[in-house]
Amino acid sequence: MKGCAQRLAEPNWWRTRLDRYFRQAVDNAYRHRGQVRDGRSAYLSQHIHNEYLRSQQLSQEHLERTFLESEDGERVSLAEVWRSTVANPAVRRAEMMTRVRGMEEYAQAHGYSGLFVTLTLPSEYHASYKKGHRNPRFNGSTPKDGNDHLMKLWAQIRAKLHRDNLRPFGLRVVEPHHDGCPHWHLMLFTPTGTETAIKHVFEHYTLKDSARADLLKHRLKIVDIDPARGSAAGYVAKYVSKNIDGAHLNTDQTGQPLKDTPTRIRAWASTWRIRQFQFMGTPPVGVWRELRRLMGASGGGGALGTAVEAADRGDWFGFMEAMQKPQVGGDGLGVELMKAHTETVNRYTGEIVTSQFNRYGEPLDGKVIGVCSGLFRMPTRVRHWLGTQFEPLKVIGLVGRQADNPVSFRGNLGLV
């Protein structure tokens, strides 16, 4: 209760949520007017897209002017850190394709078959037709409402698969139709011979809310991934690239130039707080990223040593083998994250800062400091960073305000 009361009394907490609500309300108003569609403004309104681009530009300028300093005197800009992490779209895409390729290699090695599933919402969730006419059956739902409907459908399907001891693993991709209505693509790997049972589960729950069997072809499409015709990575690569940075793609599925499609999709997902990608039934990527920090290190024998070697050479297949996933059910993993509450000293005030509580006085989980396997521990974060430094830059004429402090200015961003 104390943390809740503190949030309600904090202006920044209200500003963040009101800004989010305002952006969603503006975009939804454009959808209701038929302004979000092919030929006008695909995926989301042009107004919100422009605001997203401006926000990204200001964030990038802030990163360029913010520096971290370590205890041994090294000074690094946040922009440099950003370029080397998965916050960078190029790095994010490369990591995802590494994981997809590793899953495919694992499936081939263990006798799994691939399915590519597309789930589409009923017609009443679509605001506009492809040709530009408004949909008279549109129920006024938002993209978030549509995605919640698909999440509920997937929860029912997943529960049934679990009851039937069918546990496929793979990747889920969420992307918008031209009018902002979401649809899902799932790349699933399942033991050969279980494909028919999985298809029946999808068919049953997809039409559970409708007695019309003829609607199935509009809501569900399942394609068997034939290795002779193309790899699973090839099936999903265009969706991953299109939804991140558009690398290696010149046109979309209709043959039109991509142009700003990737940024528009990212803006759509950011505005409606929709998770674009989710891996299912595979080892946690957090462990992989920590092991990647140990380039050239030796993890000894056992699962940890094998996992360190696989991560060092960028081998997600070897990493899955070391983690004993997905062939081992439950939560048992070969390697896990090691966490602890850390303390740092503010070099300006001498104050000891602990990470046990957040600013609202609520307990926090420990911070990641390494990896472990059984009794074996291996730290991955041994350097301590003392804090951030800013290089002031006067910004004039943005949102009708003038700011010398990039932090205070960034906190006041909003639509006008």
Cα angle vertex 151, ends 149, 155, to 5°? 120
3-state secondary structure string across 241-254: HHCCCCCCCCECCC
CA distances from 31 to 40, 52, 129 (A): 11, 17, 12
Among 21, 235, 348, 360, which one carries the catalytic annotation? 235
Q: Which residue has the tokens 């050479």?
A: 313
- Whether residue 168 has a cis bond before it, omega within 30° of 0: no
* DSSP character at residue 370: E
d(CA 169, CA 279) in angstroms, rounded, equals 8
3-state secondary structure of 186: strand
Cα 160 to Cα 11, 156, 375, distances in angstroms: 45, 6, 37
Buried b (16+ CB within 10 A) or exposed e, 293-308: ebeeeebeeebbbbbb
- Check if 235 is active-site: yes
What does the alpha-carbon distance between residue 148 and residue 181 come to, in Å, rounded to a whole number? Answer: 12
Choose the catalytic residue: 30, 52, 106, 239: 239
Asked if 323 and 283 touch (Cβ cutoff 8 Å), the reply is yes
- Provide the 3-class DSSP secondary structure of residue 317: helix
Residue 360 known to be catalytic: no
Enter the tokens of residue 283.
């080892």
CA 224 to chain centre: 26
* Residues annotated catalytic, as ranges: 235, 239
